[in-house]
Amino acid sequence: MLFYKTQEEIEYIRESSLLVAKALAEVAVVIRPGITTLELDRVAETFIRDNKGVPAFLNYNGFPNSLCISVNSQVVHGIPGNTPLKDGDICSVDCGVLKNGFYGDSAYTFIVGDVDPETVRLLKVTQECLEKGIKMAVSGNRLGDISYSIQEHAENNGFSVVRELVGHGIGRHLHEKPEVPNYGKRGSGLVLREGLVIAIEPMINLGGRAVVHEGDGWTVRTADNKPSAHYEHTLAIRKDKADVLSTFSFVEEALKNNSQYKVIE
């Protein structure tokens, strides 16, 4: 079943999504070589709870932490731990919040120290894939228009699209219908209507598209161990332009003030 939201419900989702954005900014303030992903998790959880939210991922189907933190070849669902981040790593941080009965969800991939140029290009292209998908998220278009635009841009740049993991509807539940693949045919699938709220989240690999599950039962990584990038926004379908309910502006501002972070130009 598809759940179309009222404007009041969309504003609740916006509030949750902006709390996610600010929690990611708290991560952006402290991320650096030498910090552990578990420390990043604690920073975000504390901030979320201090702002009257609940970490959406904690205990979700048994997931043990508040953030999914996936490093280098890990695509998604990485479990925070005590291994410090190293110079040259990339680190995808996926965050969800429940507040006032509604969920928000967003993800950002950070560079840690000096990262090789091709991996930096992967991050840039993946974020562009998200932007291109958002441009297609308007009333009257089809779901496949979003999927195709992401796939085309990734593959035109020599990268590959993960097929096993997709974006999703969001609202009173963290994951609702429809699924939002990052690959597909233009002009196919569900017709998009106002009131539908979805999370678009390209997961793009530097090498091949194949993925494997690690032994912890959660972490998904690339089969060839090459890097993967992940960006995500929550948005509402509108007539002329998608209403993006989350934002990277807080993250980007925080990164400018993080003396140990090299901002991607």
* Total count of residues recorded for the chain: 265
Is the confidence at residue 262, as pLDDT, over 80?
no
Whether 39 and 185 have beta carbons less than 8 Å apart is answered as: no
* CATH number for the domain that contains residue 182: 3.90.230.10
Which 3 state secondary structure label does DSSP give 53?
coil
Other residues' Cβ atoms within 10 Å of the Cβ of residue 230: 25
Q: Return the closest-CA partner of residue 230 out of 199, 192, 197.
A: 199
What's residue 259's pLDDT? 72
Instruction: Note whether residue 263 is domain-resident.
Output: no
CB hemisphere CA count around 211 (13 angstroms): 23
> Phi and psi of 234, rounded to 5°?
-95, 135
Straight-line distance from the first to the last Cα atom of the chain, in angstroms, rounded to the nearest whole number: 42
Instruction: Note whether residue 1 is domain-resident.
Output: no
Instruction: Note whether residue 261 is domain-resident.
Output: no
pLDDT tens-digit series, residues 76-118: 999 999 999 999 999 999 999 999 999 999 999 999 999 999 9
Mean pLDDT of all residues in 151-156: 98
Is the confidence at residue 257, as pLDDT, over 90?
no
Q: Name the percent of the chain lying above pLDDT 70.
A: 98
Mean pLDDT of all residues in 57-66: 98
Q: Whole-prediction pTM value?
A: 0.97
Is the confidence at residue 168, as pLDDT, over 90?
yes
Instruction: Note whether residue 24 is domain-resident.
Output: yes
Which 3 state secondary structure label does DSSP give 124?
helix
Instruction: Note whether residue 233 is domain-resident.
Output: yes
Q: Return the closest-CA partner of residue 224 out of 6, 51, 72.
A: 72
Instruction: Note whether residue 227 is domain-resident.
Output: yes
Q: Return the closest-CA partner of residue 237 out of 149, 94, 133.
A: 133
Q: Could you tell me the strand order of the sheet in which 160-161 lies? A: 160-161, 203-205, 228-230
Whether 35 and 82 have beta carbons less than 8 Å apart is answered as: no
Number of domains in the chain: 1
Which residues constitute the domain of residue 61?
7-256
Instruction: Note whether residue 265 is domain-resident.
Output: no
Instruction: Note whether residue 2 is domain-resident.
Output: no
